[in-house]
Amino acid sequence: MVFTLFLLLFLLLKTNCSTFQDCESECIFEPVKLISTNIGSFPKCAKVCSFLKIDHSSNLTHEQLTEAFKNLETLVGGLEIVNATFTDVKFLNSLTRIEANTSPVRISNNEKMIELGMVNLTTVITYNFAVSGNKEMTVLNLPKLQIVDCQLSPCKPVISMWNNNQNFCMTTEEMKVFLLNNRIEQFYVNSKVCEPAGDNMKTCKMPEVGCEELVGNLEIRQDFDTKTVNSLKIIYGSLLVQNSTLDDLSCLGNLTHVAQFDGLKPVVEIQEGLKSIKMANLERIVTSVWNGAHIQNENKRKLGNDTEIFENFALFEKTPQNAPRSFDGLSC
């Protein structure tokens, strides 16, 4: 029995060692939870190996944490901030990289948290990234985030941005980190897309010449000026083509993604009678199903659960012209 325990302990430590082989021994923080009695020994290294966990019982102030983490740039291991009372995570604002290969990165159920505010964070390597259940949170504020991905295979990161404040929104830049990563197939999000900032010509709320990302629905009806959508790459909203006199949708040749998160309407609806509805570069359609957002390849058949209601229209999925094509877009 005792021997078994020792063996278990040994194996546990050994696993820790191999997870933390990247770190100098003085840069490894072993305790499972950060609390007031061990925060003094948090390593002052730029790269720290730790399964860092902070919760309501940690008894730490924002100031103590800011001081403890002031040199921290890379965290190897994992990060969980759950049920804590902080209003943000700005004490981790020098952090640029989290490498949590086998652990989740979770910031959940913090009842006073209004934003993350990890303004230098660029990269999160994990199989499960969750920012959820933070009832006051209205924005992420991760302005430099570029990569959320995993490294171990099979790699299918699961993302949850779920049950935060009802006004919670993600910027188009934050949204793209997830949308443009084709390995992410499970993206549980009930977030709006934040209103585009006025000074960005490439993001618009109404179709405009030169606009690349539309925050809002695109409705193509009679007498539609197709020049306004020629540069369009992403629609954060649904695409409706109704009563138009177009022969085809070649005007949307730059469109790669249609993403709509309110889950009430089909994400794409196109009238019958067009000669072709092919959009040469379309890669992904994202829509909410059963309160989650479901990402599917354009060629799969389920675009929503309301087919019957919209029987006046040929739904995108039913149209034969939409034949499978190769991924590089060369064989359209």
CB of 229 to ligand NAG, least distance (A): 8
Alpha-carbon 296 to chain mean position: 15
Query: Rounded to whole angstroms, what are the CA distances from 13 to 7, 17, 21, 39, 325?
Result: 10, 6, 12, 21, 50
Residue 11: is it exposed, middle or buried by C-beta count within 10 angstroms (0-12/13-18/19+)?
exposed
94 is a contact residue toward ligand NAG (CB under 6 A): yes
36 is a contact residue toward ligand NAG (CB under 6 A): yes
**Which is nearer to ligand NAG, 3 or 290 (by Cβ)?**
290
59 is a contact residue toward ligand NAG (CB under 6 A): yes
CA distance 51 to 290: 33
CB of 119 to ligand NAG, least distance (A): 6
CB of 171 to ligand NAG, least distance (A): 17
230 is a contact residue toward ligand NAG (CB under 6 A): yes
Choosing from 87, 120, 319, 322, the residue that interacts with ligand NAG (CB under 6 A) is 120
Token couple for 21: 């082989």
CB of 93 to ligand NAG, least distance (A): 4
Contact (CB, 8 A) for 277 and 319: yes
Contact (CB, 8 A) for 108 and 133: yes
56 is a contact residue toward ligand NAG (CB under 6 A): yes
292 is a contact residue toward ligand NAG (CB under 6 A): no
Site for ligand NAG in 240-259 (CB under 6 A): 242-243, 253-254
Contact (CB, 8 A) for 93 and 68: no
CB of 94 to ligand NAG, least distance (A): 3
Contact (CB, 8 A) for 289 and 277: no
**Which is nearer to ligand NAG, 176 or 278 (by Cβ)?**
278
* 3-class SS shares of the chain: helix, strand, coil, % to 5: 20, 25, 55
**Which is nearer to ligand NAG, 202 or 284 (by Cβ)?**
202
Using CB under 6 A, count the residues that bind ligand NAG: 17
CB of 122 to ligand NAG, least distance (A): 10
Element (H, E) at 38: none
Contact (CB, 8 A) for 252 and 233: no
Q: Can you give the binding site for ligand NAG, defined by CB under 6 A? A: 36, 56, 59, 83, 93-94, 119-120, 221-222, 230-231, 242-243, 253-254, 305
